[in-house]
Amino acid sequence: MPRRDDSVMDARTAARNWVDAWTQGWEAADPDPIAALYADDAVFRSHPFREPEASPRAYVERAFADESLVECRFGEPVVDRDRAAVEYWAILGAPRGEETLTGVTVLRFGPDGRVVEHCDYWSMQAGRTPPRF
């Protein structure tokens, strides 16, 4: 059996790290822990019908400037080989009241555990809707 390279991270650990860093970064409006998760050449789509963002950091900085997070929650990642899907739910403050954002992020990880592909599928509605997970 070949020896596993110590620099290789399994996708389950990478997905848990992703959840932890997004939770920490989103709650603190701090892009640093989130940006550190992504490979330098990562493809980051904030919605399936949008073009890729210039960088994950640029997207997060813009999003944090435009929103006021009230609370967020992430589901347990579903992992297969180098890919993961993670459900999320958030309440955002808005000028006309709270909005609920819910969606799924589909990720692919490189051998070092950093994200090389990210695509969000999401929906938003006015008001507070409780999470279903």
> The domain containing residue 53 runs over which residues?
11-125
Asked if residue 133 is part of any domain, the answer here is no
Q: What angle do CA 12, 92, 102 make, to 5 degrees?
A: 45
**CA proximity to 131, closest of 100, 105, 96:** 100
The pLDDT, as a whole number, for residue 2 is 38
Asked if residue 6 is part of any domain, the answer here is no
**Strands 99-109 vs 83-93: parallel, antiparallel or unpaired:** antiparallel
The pLDDT, as a whole number, for residue 71 is 94
The total of structural domains in the chain comes to: 1
Measured CA to CA, the distance from residue 106 to residue 87 in angstroms comes to 9
Could you tell me the CATH number of the domain that includes residue 42?
A: 3.10.450.50
Render each residue's pLDDT in the chain as its tens digit; 133 residues.
333 455 568 999 999 999 999 999 999 999 999 999 999 999 999 999 999 999 999 999 999 998 899 999 999 999 999 999 999 999 999 888 999 999 999 999 999 999 999 999 999 999 999 998 8
